[in-house]
Amino acid sequence: VNKHKPWIETSYHGVITENMDTVLLDPPLVALDKDAPVPYADSVLMSLIKPGEICAFKIYGQDVPFEAVVLNRTSGEGILRASSPVDCESQKEYTFIIQAYDCGASLSGTDWKKSHKAVVHIQVNDVNEFSPVFREPLYKASLTEGKIYDSILQVEAWDQDCSPQYSQICNYEIVTAGTPFAIDRNGGNIRNTERLSYEKQQSYRITVTAFDCGQKKAQEDVTVHIDVKPICKPGWQGWNKRVDYEPGTGSRPLFPKMHLETCEGPLSGMKVLVELQTSHIGKGCDRETYSEKSLQKLCGAASGSTDLLPAPSPSANWTASLLTDSGRDSDLIYRFDGRQAANVPDHVVPQNLTDQFTVATWMKHGPSRGLRAEKETILCDSDKTEMNRHHYAIYVHNCRLVFLLRRDFTQVDAFRPAEFHWKLEQICDKEWHYYVINVEFPAVTLFVDGVTYEPYLVTDDWPIHTSKIDTQLTVGACWQNKSVCGLKNDTLSGGTPVCCQGGEVMPPRFTQYFRGSLSGLTIRPGRIESQKVISCLQACKEGLDINSLESLAKDIKFHFNPAQSVLVVEGEDVDSINAAMTKVSYINSRQFPTPGLRRLRITTSVQCFGEDSCLSIPDIKAVVMVLQPSEPRITITGTNQLVRPAGDLRAPLGVAPFKELHITSTVMKGDGSGGPQRPGVMETMHNLDYCDVLVIGEELNPGKESLEIRHSALLGKHLDATNSTSGISIYGVDSISHYEQALRQVRYRNWRPTSLSERRFRLTCSELNGRYTSNEFNMEVSVLHHSAPVDHVNHMAANPQYMRPVHHPLMIHTFNSHMSGAAPPAATVVIVVCIAALVVIVVIGVYRIHATHQEETRDEEDEAKEPEEDWDSSALSITVNPMENLKGLQALRKVVQDEGCTEEEEEDGEQVGGMTSAESDYSDEEAEEEDLREVKERKRKGKLEWDSSSMKY
């Protein structure tokens, strides 16, 4: 009878190695049953049913990958094994219930007895099947030069194995040899073994590997990139020391990648000052270098100003002895070293100064030497003889600008303002400034670089008594007429005592010399200059700029100085300041800027929270290199010779020598395609500032000829003109097309062209006051004189004394070759044939001249006011008798010369009758005497009355 239940242990502990099926249990799996076999039972039944045996082990648990198998029913032994693969990485331990079942007393198994429940704990042993893997594909770090770090960065690897033995990383190694780095074997911390230098090497690249505790190496090594940073110094980074500027490219950013390194210091505010230093360029910056007259007309200034420091020329020779600064890109600058001065001629000095006038000049001046500095006179109008009074003057004394104005004595005998003083830093800062003194007596206003300054001191004095003494206007000093020993000159006049012997009077001399540089010194009587014109005259064409103002942060504040050479940027946030600085740019609006360096200086101040200043930001210095512009080549083309009858020159409008004139300007440019640039010529448009037409040879005689342009030809243009006996000058900043139109209207007129065969002129044009000049274009105006007709119908029957010789060079040679005696009979026929052929050639030439004259007359009908003379050559007969002897030829020449005299007298009579009011100074008798002298001279030289230089054969 199956009375007892099987018995097993209450708990089991087992171990299984992953990927295997055998479980090692402790204690072993054995079930016991107290029931014994029945000896009297049927042998067959007893062979099948054995109540004391163990038939099965059952496992209870969810998804348990194990099974229990009975090995021996009688002894109750069994084993535990895996029913499916066991993975430690998926599950390290299993816990489940197991029971043992005996075989019972029947075959149905309904009366099987089961043991109590026993707990089984199974631990899965790990196998080192995985390699270490780094958590990052690439590690980056940076360090500051000159320091030793305990840990720069940490690399980390991991292992998928489940056990600590195989999942832990027990060793890190640096694979790259010869690096100044080491790694912690256990922790993976990388450190430097020596102090690194940024200048020596800016970055390092090393390779690291790892091993787990089972000494399995990582399948893939990892790369570590370490940057070496210079020692953190607060300052600007990412800027270039040189920025190239190509002319005509507009605004060029100066610091597109610049940013401020603050070394992580907390800031509450910043102020950045950007300064563009251009004092070495021209007069303080890149300005237009046109002449003073051209600039004034360009800026809309009223005419009437007098240039007291013009360029030396035959008509302005008083500046020839002054020192000039020739290295200023066509700027006319005079340098005064305390030994030079110039007396302005009386005909140049404006004599009608009223209560309103303007004095303007460019000045560069430094501090005077010595404790007691002398007065340095810029402009002085003083007595020329007898006395030593100063009527008006501008001088510098102890870095003060003083304007002296002592008006003549009027009916009001009272003190009046006489000296106006200004004390300004600009006067002695050794920089160029533009000074304008507007006088509206008794008020005087000073403009310096367009900014208004009122005098801080005004001194009154008695007016000067009226006298007939002439005055002398001097630039660079003051003219001192005399100085007597022991006498002290008037303080306001600026005189100084002179020591001499015996009370003798010193000769006139210069005194109170100026030391500095001047340019563009002008005086304009009768009116004052407007603020707009002053700003235009001193405006810089280069400066700083900010692109995209709308994109600046709201906390950014900025402002420029008037010349845009100084920019101040303020803000609270470093990122906002950095963004604003990337938009700072340089711009030069000149078409042909002055090439060379412009220096940049950036000064930065920062504020920290609760402190006035916490970081010191070093100043940075850079340069802007303005590249050489493509130089234009100005070319003047047209007809070089103009042949006109004398009547055209006598017409009221005269002739237009430059009617077919063309002016072009070209520059050399690269084609801009890939590869090496091939230079090419392209036409460019720019302005001109003057064109001069000079007379070649003798100067113009105002009594009988003129070279002029009508005022109406200059209307609507920024042009003006002056003329003299040397030629005519058209000036003003205007386009090439306007200059072409004006030059085509230049007229040459000669109301006494009898003795004139040709007039030659030379034309040159300029841009930027001579910086770029054109070719010299020579024009010759040839005068075609007409001959009176001779009424000979039958030239074969004409008497020899009425024959007119034609002095063609070939004919003259033929005559001279056969005048030694009678020709032999054999050569007579040959001579006759040759001379006949020459006569035919001469007749054809005369006909062509006549046709050409008629065509030119039709072209000039619109310009000429007087009717042209008709030249009828239909009756012109030329007969040459080679059989005449030498006496006959001489008689013929005398007759014709007498006729020529008569013709010249008739032509001169017509000229005198047609004279305009401009030639009324010449009497008829004087004209006839002059014509007779010309005829005699022509007879002496054997010249013709008409010019055959243009005759065509």
Give the pLDDT confidence score for residue 679 in this predicted structure: 57
Using DSSP bridges, classify how beta strands 222-229 and 138-144 pair: parallel, antiparallel or unpaired.
parallel
Return phi, psi of residue 499, to 5°.
Answer: -90, 135
Residue 564's domain is classified under what CATH number? 2.60.40
In a shared domain, residues 315 and 439? yes
Domain contains 445:
yes
SS3 content of the chain, % helix, strand, coil (to 5): 15, 35, 50
Residue 380's domain is classified under what CATH number? 2.60.120.200
Give the pLDDT confidence score for residue 258 in this predicted structure: 93
In a shared domain, residues 70 and 171? no
Q: Give the C-alpha separation, 529 to 390, whole Å.
A: 25
What is the DSSP secondary structure assignment for residue 925, as one 8-state letter?
H
What is the DSSP secondary structure assignment for residue 677, as one 8-state letter?
P
In a shared domain, residues 689 and 751? yes
Q: Give the C-alpha separation, 926 to 932, whole Å.
A: 10
In order of 521, 759, 877, the CA distances from 695 in angstroms are: 30, 8, 40
In a shared domain, residues 111 and 213? no
Q: How many CB atoms lie within 10 A of CB 321?
A: 10
596: left (phi over 0), alpha (psi -120 to 50) or beta: left
Domain contains 812:
no
Low-confidence stretches of the chain (pLDDT < 70) are 1, 36-51, 105-110, 326-330, 370-372, 408-413, 482-507, 610-613, 669-680, 786-830, 850-953
Using DSSP bridges, classify how beta strands 400-405 and 416-423 pair: parallel, antiparallel or unpaired.
antiparallel
Q: Which of 626, 641, 656 is the last residue of a domain?
A: 626
Give the pLDDT confidence score for residue 164 in this predicted structure: 82
In a shared domain, residues 272 and 330? no
Give the pLDDT confidence score for residue 928 in this predicted structure: 40
Domain contains 916:
no
Q: Give the C-alpha separation, 807 to 597, whole Å.
A: 69
Quote the domain boundaries for residue 163. Answer: 133-229
Residue 165's domain is classified under what CATH number? 2.60.40.60
Q: Give the C-alpha separation, 543 to 275, whole Å.
A: 10
Q: Which of 125, 142, 170 is the last residue of a domain?
A: 125
Strand partners, 439: 357, 444
Domain contains 301:
yes
In order of 36, 113, 121, 437, the CA distances from 56 in angstroms are: 18, 11, 20, 127
In a shared domain, residues 660 and 778? yes
Domain count, the chain: 5
Q: Are the beta carbons of 407 and 463 closer than 8 angstroms?
A: yes
Using DSSP bridges, classify how beta strands 118-125 and 11-17 pair: parallel, antiparallel or unpaired.
parallel
Q: How many CB atoms lie within 10 A of CB 83?
A: 11
Q: How many CB atoms lie within 10 A of CB 299?
A: 19
Domain contains 452:
yes
3-class DSSP state of 199: coil
Return phi, psi of residue 72, to 5°.
Answer: -145, 115
Q: Which of 784, 809, 838 is the last residue of a domain?
A: 784
In a shared domain, residues 311 and 436? yes
Handedness of CA 11, 16, 22, 28 (dihedral sign): negative
∠860-861-864 over CA atoms, to 5°?
80
Domain contains 915:
no
In a shared domain, residues 399 and 298? yes
In a shared domain, residues 455 and 335? yes
Domain contains 200:
yes
In order of 307, 438, 442, 457, 530, the CA distances from 445 in angstroms are: 21, 5, 10, 12, 12
Q: Are the beta carbons of 393 and 381 closer than 8 angstroms?
A: yes
In a shared domain, residues 13 and 121? yes
In a shared domain, residues 184 and 92? no
Q: Which helix (H) or strand (E) holds 858?
A: helix 825-859
Instruction: Show the tokens assigned to 322.
Output: 């002054």
In a shared domain, residues 614 and 687? no
End-to-end CA distance of the chain: 166
Strand partners, 641: 780
Give the pLDDT confidence score for residue 860 in this predicted structure: 44
Domain contains 556:
yes
3-state secondary structure 366-411: CCCCCCCCCCEEEEEEEECCCCCCEEEEEEEECCEEEEEECCECCC
